[in-house]
Amino acid sequence: MEPRVLAYLPLVTPVATLLVVIVGVLFSNRHVDVRISDLRAHMDAQFKAVDTRFGSLDQVFQERLRRVEEVMDARLSRIESELHIR
């Protein structure tokens, strides 16, 4: 090799190493972005499932509350009629 090329070799070696490291970081960063997107999609699906469950529970509670109100109204009407309040 020519002596001039050997003189620049210590200067070029860190630059080449930095380029390899930067390419690796960029590739890794893209991989992490994809994995985070997958995680976000999975979490969104889980939250939607939980929302659906709570929605169905809300309907059940509304139906039960309606039944309790009907029973209480019937009992109150009976008590009012027996005591001749109305």
Q: Is the predicted pLDDT of residue 3 greater than 80, yes or no?
A: no
Work out whether the CA dihedral 25, 28, 32, 33 comes out positive or negative.
positive
Q: Among the listed ranges 28-32, 35-39, 66-70, 80-84, which one has the minimum average pLDDT value?
A: 28-32
Pick the more confident residue, 27 or 61.
Answer: 61
Q: Is the pTM of this model over 0.85?
A: no
CA distance 33 to 43: 15
Average pLDDT, the chain: 88
Are residues 86 and 80 in contact, defined by beta-carbon separation less than 8 angstroms? Answer: yes
Q: Is 47 exposed, middle or buried (0-12, 13-18, 19+ CB in 10 A)?
A: exposed
- Structure confidence by residue, pLDDT tens digits, 20-58: 998 888 888 888 888 899 999 999 999 999 999 998 999
